[in-house]
Chain A
Amino acid sequence: MLETINLTKQFNGQVAVSGLHLNIEAGEIYCLLGANGAGKTTTINMLLNVFPPSSGDALIGGLSVTENPLETKKRLTYIPENLALYPNLTGAENLRFFCGLSGLQLGVTEIEGHLKKAGLQPEAMHKRVETYSKGMRQKVGVALAIARSSDVLLLDEPTSGLDPAASNDFARLLELMKDRGAAILMATHDLFRAKETGTRIGIMNRGKLMDELVASDISHSDLEQVYLNHMKS
């Protein structure tokens, strides 16, 4: 569903991502672990076609993101660390607007249904987003993914700054999306969340994919040790 082939990005001769090969299938949560500057966000930006790769390619549903930017974006939902929503609109209005951009004209009941599935309290749905916590904003993002029935979710540090309960809620939502058949790529530096949520874990350092692990095959402590070893190398 989501594939990168020798994906490389250089900025002024500096390598940000080097020869990245990923293949994430439907119903899979792939956690990309790495410190700040490892190349996780650059990878996501190339998948979003914010800038083109220096070489290699990225495919979503078999389509190149550089050759079919609009078509590939229709198949994915992107949730950044700080999901930007319009503060003087309600959660429901924000969702309706973003769905509208995808050509989805949803009624109030449908909007409320999607927000409910994403875990947003009914009393919060029609309050302005300026009153929302970060966790509530992330739920609107997930509701967008649900509404759009996205094949691919790109998440950039989505649980950063969330309290444990909210982080746990968010993990449950990812499970829900995974069960619906979405291929999920989550960039994070939260080892615990990666182990708990991910089906596979990739460790990046200095733009390179250093290791790939199956989450269920490794313990928390082993993951931490492997991660630290790669960071030192």
Chain B
Amino acid sequence: MIIRQIVRNELTRLVRDLVILTLAVLVLGLLAVSVLTGERYYQQLSSAQSEAEYLSRIQWEQQGEKNPHSAAHYGTHAFKPVSVLMIFEPGVTRYTGVSLFLEGHRQNTASFSLAEDLDASLRFAELTPAFIFTYLFPLLIIFAGFRMVVAEKESGMYRFLMAQGISRNQLIWGKTAALWIMVLVIFAPFFLFGLLVAGLPISAEADLYRYLLLALIWMCYFGIMIHLTIGISSFARQSGTAMVSLLAIWMVITLLIPKVTSNMAASLHSVPTTSEFYQSVRTDLQQGIDGHNPFSEHSVAFRDSVLNAHGVTDVADLPFNFSGMMLQEAEEFEKKIYDYHLDRIQSIHDRQLGVFSLGAILSPGLSMQLTSMHIAGTDIHAFRHFTQEAEEYRIELMRVLNNDLRDNAVGERAIGYVTGRDFFEQNPVLRYERPSKITPSADTIPFILALLSWFIISAGLVGFAASKEEVV
């Protein structure tokens, strides 16, 4: 009853505070703009991608009569379906891209610099709901709440309120509830607007589920900021002190720790440059079979083993095309080399994520960003999942092409063998689908735990402030 009175009083005063009202309207306006521009970008990207995917397949099927291995070099593209949730949380999508070029002998990747991908400051310029929620919304909470308790002490109202027979506990939890309601009142229209603009009620159930989880994660982050704001306001003796302390906390958790963590991750676990990576790959590739060099030591050894196995002395006497077999053998060897080097890069990325876990413990802003990217399916794990599927498809496509050469370019057809549209049309198609279930990876669990811990600890701070006796 008393808490309800305090809440109603606080909300009336907040609504009458022109500064807070202006800020709230501004934030809501920015959210609306960010959703609309995000949706437009999503539609453009989605439609461009669908068109490119269609054209890529047409080009593949209609590339004309060609040796299958020439087709392998001609290459094709794999496309990662764009998640509608990138409207709200684009994550690393803009840096990793949404397509991969697939070709023979080579695994192409979008980027090797995870630290760069995860650097919060790089995302600073993007006006997305995620950006607004990470950086601007906490400021609104701080401006609305930093005076809530301390100003009562400064004005003498605190003693007057206590004289009315209310407890400090009721006062502080009432203020906390009022700030929660303010946040919910601002967040609710955004939530519904985003839901409708993104068409989530009619889209995949998984996306709607992810959207609800995103909302929960954002609310958890706002809750932390609400609790910190009321907690600091309760302990401070002057409004100025509360304001400066809260702004310092905001800077540390949204700017400083993410930046320092990113730099630490990059310096402690540096990723090789692209040229270094390909140089290492080239060096290792020389230790094995080269599908285009039949005179190399490994190619000769492989040819001899095949001839021995079939009891013949010349490749022309084999019942299949030896080049096709050798190209496939080389492809599998090359895959092993690429896998080895890419695994090394991935393990460096994992170690970098370990550093990020430490940063996330210190910064709820960082843990919120990393968790929301994971839920939206726009984090590095989602991209890895796509590249792994794309690689499996690539190796399967190469096998089909090389086997066609092996099986059909024999006898009189061996020289100048070409295949055509009928064959290419039958080639497998990559139909990549994002995982419908959210399975928190081992790397993401620390971020979620850090966020929950911050929520509980910050609520504990309010509880402690509420229970602390204070003579004013």
Contact = CB atoms under 8 A, between A and B. Distances in A.
Interface of A: 48, 50-51, 69-70, 73-74, 76-78, 80, 82-86, 88-89, 93, 97-98, 100-103, 154
Given A86-B9, A89-B9, A97-B9, A80 B165 contact: no
Interface in B1-54: 1-2, 5-6, 8-9, 12-13, 16-17
Interface of B: 1-2, 5-6, 8-9, 12-13, 16-17, 152, 155-157, 159-167, 471-472
Contacts of B16: 88-89
B156 A93 contact: no
A48 B162 contact: yes
**Closest 5 pairs between A and B when the two form their complex, measured CB to CB:** A73-B165, A84-B157, A78-B163, A100-B5, A84-B156
User: Which interface residue of B2, B5, B162, B472 has the most chain A CB atoms within 10 A?
Assistant: B5
Contacts of B1: 103
B9 A50 contact: no
Given A84-B156, A89-B13, A48 B163 contact: yes
A93 B12 contact: yes
Contacts of B162: 48, 50, 73
Chain B interface mostly helix, strand, loop or mixed? helix
A84 B9 contact: no
B449 to A, nearest CB: 40
User: Which interface residue of B2, B16, B165, B472 has the most chain A CB atoms within 10 A?
Assistant: B165
Contacts of B156: 80, 82, 84
Contacts, number: 61
Contacts of B167: 70
Nearest to A72: B165
User: Which interface residue of A50, A78, A86, A101 has the most chain B CB atoms within 10 A?
Assistant: A101
Nearest to A93: B12
A84 B166 contact: no
B164 A83 contact: no
Contacts of A70: 165, 167
Given A51-B471, A89-B13, A101-B5, A73 B164 contact: yes
9 contacts: A50-B472, A70-B165, A77-B163, A82-B156, A84-B156, A86-B13, A97-B8, A100-B8, A101-B164
Contact of A102 (B6, B12, B13, B164): B164
Contacts of A103: 1
B17 A88 contact: yes
B163 A84 contact: no
B56 to A, nearest CB: 62
Given A50-B159, A80-B159, A103-B1, A98 B471 contact: no
Contact of B164 (A80, A82, A98, A154): A98
B2 A84 contact: no
Contacts of A98: 164
B12 A89 contact: yes
B172 to A, nearest CB: 15
